[in-house]
């Protein structure tokens, strides 16, 4: 596998080795030894799968203090995945990265603890899977507005479908820094 470091410390794009032939393909989506060597040392405790239609945008979500690291990939379809560094004191605080994840490119993104995460579906449907390093704890969930102009996320679609909860998330500047994770 190839690991691509990003401009945001800790955030990585993983390109698994794909073994393909006329029957299809095989790839590893998690291997403790290989991913540990790549610097991903999370102990995963929960796996999630979501199915969404084109134009659905989920996010931007994070948990604090029960922070979750997430290893995300697409089983079917295509998404633009976004991660935002929300670690107070980080030199890249408030900066974001987007990555195209699809069943065709088979890339994964490692979103470390302290980052908000979201994605927008660009194919007719997308089946997204992710491993989490902490259990979902709704009482610790935070969110940031998907279209916060200060984050300048280059979403592929402007007309999106949001949940009522995601629609109500505040801009980053309106969240007290004491409510955010520390670098």
Annotated active-site positions, please? Answer: 61, 130
Which token pair is 145? 């507005």
Which token pair is 7? 């401009």
Query: What distance in Å separates the CA atoms of residue 59 and residue 144, rounded to the nearest whole number?
Result: 8
**Measured torsion, CA atoms of residues 82, 87, 92, 98, in degrees rounded to the nearest 10:** 0
Q: For the chain, percent helix, then strand, then coil, each to nearest 5?
A: 10, 40, 50
Determine contact, residues 104/78, Cβ cutoff 8 Å.
yes
Query: What distance in Å separates the CA atoms of residue 157 and residue 155, rounded to the nearest whole number?
Result: 6
Query: What distance in Å separates the CA atoms of residue 98 and residue 57, rounded to the nearest whole number?
Result: 13
């Amino acid at each position: 596998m190839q690991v691509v470091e990003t401009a945001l410390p800790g955030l990585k794009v993983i390109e698994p080795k794909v073994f393909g032939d006329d029957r299809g393909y095989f790839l590893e989506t998690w291997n403790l030894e290989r991913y540990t060597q790549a610097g991903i040392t999370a102990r995963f405790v929960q796996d999630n799968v979501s199915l969404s239609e084109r134009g659905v945008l989920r996010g931007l979500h994070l948990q604090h203090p029960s922070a979750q690291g997430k290893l995300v990939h697409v089983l079917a379809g295509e998404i633009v995945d976004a991660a935002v560094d929300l670690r107070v004191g980080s030199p890249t605080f408030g900066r974001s990265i987007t990555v195209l994840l699809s069943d065709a490119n088979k890339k994964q993104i490692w979103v470390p603890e302290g980052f908000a995460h979201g994605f927008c579906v660009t194919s007719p449907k997308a089946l997204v899977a992710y491993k989490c390093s902490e259990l979902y704890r709704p009482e610790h969930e935070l969110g940031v507005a998907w279209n916060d102009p200060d984050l300048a996320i280059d979403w592929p679609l402007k007309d999106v479908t949001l949940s009522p909860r995601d629609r109500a998330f505040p801009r980053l500047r309106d969240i007290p820094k004491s409510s955010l994770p520390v670098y």
